[in-house]
């Protein structure tokens, strides 16, 4: 089993846990998480991804993540560097670590498992491991598309993405249950927005790339 690891979260959690301690302890806690993941799944190899500074989402929506005003953990960059040097992490350029995880999982011809606590990745079919909750989830292809449209309806306050007005998780679920196919879920979401420009923008912000340059567009049947 090859593990695809959300290095952003590994580094952030390790750095945050060692905020008042030394850089060495922060790096050690990074190793602890990585080793736990490897041992839990008898991994044959690991591929951590870390988000670089450039991200197309900031270009199409300058307010992306603008609500994140909290100071970053003291040793965050050191933990990221440690993942690169010791664990071979790849730093993305022009897109996020989540996109890299999604592209790798989509293209892989061998069994892989996405290791993250980020719900955004649940739009990607395959095995997902949340190491904090010790929870394994297997996402089917249509389930992944359902999760994408649900996310479009609700938005993402953590990333400063506003969904449909007055549509929270319960209402989003109720709306999508009126359909049973990706085509129907698209139309339900489109009607809820009643604003193609806003829907398209949010879809592009939320959609994770399956291949490089995979900017989300309305499905062909929507014309």
Residues 6+ apart with CB under 8 A from 192: 153, 164, 167, 175
Taking the C-alpha atoms of residue 189 and residue 199, their distance in angstroms, rounded to an integer, is: 8
Helix (H, G, I), strand (E, B) or coil at 90: strand
**Could you tell me the two tokens for 61?**
């929506």
Per-residue model confidence as pLDDT tens digits over 164-195 = 989 999 999 999 999 999 999 999 999 999 99
Q: What is the DSSP string of 174-199?
A: HHHTT--SHHHHHHHHHHHH--HHHH
Q: Which residues of the chain have pLDDT under 70?
A: 223
Amino acid 223: pLDDT? 67
Residues 6+ apart with CB under 8 A from 166: none
Query: Which of the listed CATH numbers 3.40.50.1010, 1.10.357.10, 3.40.30.10, 3.40.630.10 matches domain 2-139?
Result: 3.40.50.1010
H/E segment holding residue 13:
helix 7-17
Q: What are the residue ranges spanned by the domains of the chain? A: 2-139, 141-222
Amino acid 207: pLDDT? 98
Taking the C-alpha atoms of residue 123 and residue 49, their distance in angstroms, rounded to an integer, is: 18
Per-residue model confidence as pLDDT tens digits over 102-124 = 999 999 999 999 999 999 999 99
Taking the C-alpha atoms of residue 79 and residue 25, their distance in angstroms, rounded to an integer, is: 10
């Amino acid at each position: 089993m090859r593990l695809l690891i959300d290095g952003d979260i590994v580094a952030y959690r390790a750095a945050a846990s060692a905020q008042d301690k030394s850089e060495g302890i922060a790096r050690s806690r990074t190793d602890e998480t990585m080793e736990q993941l490897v041992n839990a799944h008898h991994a044959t190899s690991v591929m951590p991804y870390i988000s670089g500074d450039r991200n197309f989402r900031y270009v199409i929506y300058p307010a992306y993540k603008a609500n994140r005003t909290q100071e970053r953990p003291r040793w965050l960059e050191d933990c990221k560097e440690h993942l690169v040097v010791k664990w071979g992490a790849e730093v993305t350029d022009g897109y996020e670590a989540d996109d890299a995880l999604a592209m790798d999982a989509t293209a892989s011809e061998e069994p892989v498992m996405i290791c993250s606590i980020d719900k955004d990745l649940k739009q990607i079919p395959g095995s997902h491991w949340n190491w904090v909750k010790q929870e394994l989830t297997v996402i089917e292809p249509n389930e992944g598309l359902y999760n994408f449209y649900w996310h479009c309806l609700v938005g993402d306050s953590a990333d400063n993405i506003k969904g449909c007005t007055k549509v929270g998780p319960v209402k989003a679920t109720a709306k999508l249950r009126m359909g049973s196919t990706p085509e129907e879920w698209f139309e339900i979401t489109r009607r809820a927005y009643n604003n193609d420009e806003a829907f398209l923008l949010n879809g592009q912000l939320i959609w994770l790339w399956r291949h490089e340059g995979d900017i989300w567009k309305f499905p062909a049947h929507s014309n």
